Amino acid sequence: MPSAESRPPLPPFTAESATQKVRLAEDGWNGRNPEKVSLAYTEGTRWRNRTEFATGRPEVVAFLTRKWAKELDYRLIKELWAFGGNRIAVRYAYEWHDDSGNWFRSYGNENWEFDENGLMANRFACINDLPIKETERKFHWPLGRRPDDHPGLSELGL
């Protein structure tokens, strides 16, 4: 039985529920609200993101606040790669620019592990940044949630 602090869909995941979980995570990150995003993670969540390690929601909020202050006009697409039990693997790409107007597309993979309430307990990310020209951007929706009719990574050839 889910607790008061629950984030359905809950493990064990099916192809449908894992795909839903990935889209919910994408939607949350595209909202760029660190406090709200942190609620999808356990109180003691553990992260590895590039060279940073974060433990607990306060560190996640601080990390995301720094991230979105640097990565301007951030737009993200995630795609399910694999799942089993309480774990999901995703691949993703996001586009952003720095305060000098230099655009990037960042590519990455994440491994997620969830508790029984559907909160993410562990997040391990590997990310690479590719400088791109503004004319090479592929993510052209208004800031916020990616529209349902916008192509995903596979459809974009990424």
Longest dimension (CA), the chain: 50
Query: What would be the CATH architecture of the domain defined by 15-136?
Result: Roll (3.10)
Domain ranges in the chain are 15-136
Cα(152)–Cα(158) distance, rounded to whole angstroms?
A: 9
Closest CA to 96 of 68, 58, 54: 68
Residue 89 has a pLDDT of 98
User: pTM higher than 0.85 for the full model?
Assistant: yes
* Strand, coil or helix: 147: coil
Q: Which helix (H) or strand (E) holds 105?
A: strand 103-114
Q: How far apart are CA 16 and CA 7, in angstroms?
A: 15
Helices (H), 10-157: 15-31, 34-38, 57-70
Q: What is the mean pLDDT of each run of 10 residues along the chain (158 residues)?
A: 79 98 98 98 97 97 98 98 98 98 98 98 98 98 97 97
Tell me the three state secondary structure of residue 1.
coil
Q: CA-CA distance, 38 to 15, in Å (whole number)?
A: 24
Tokens 């433990």 appear where? 55
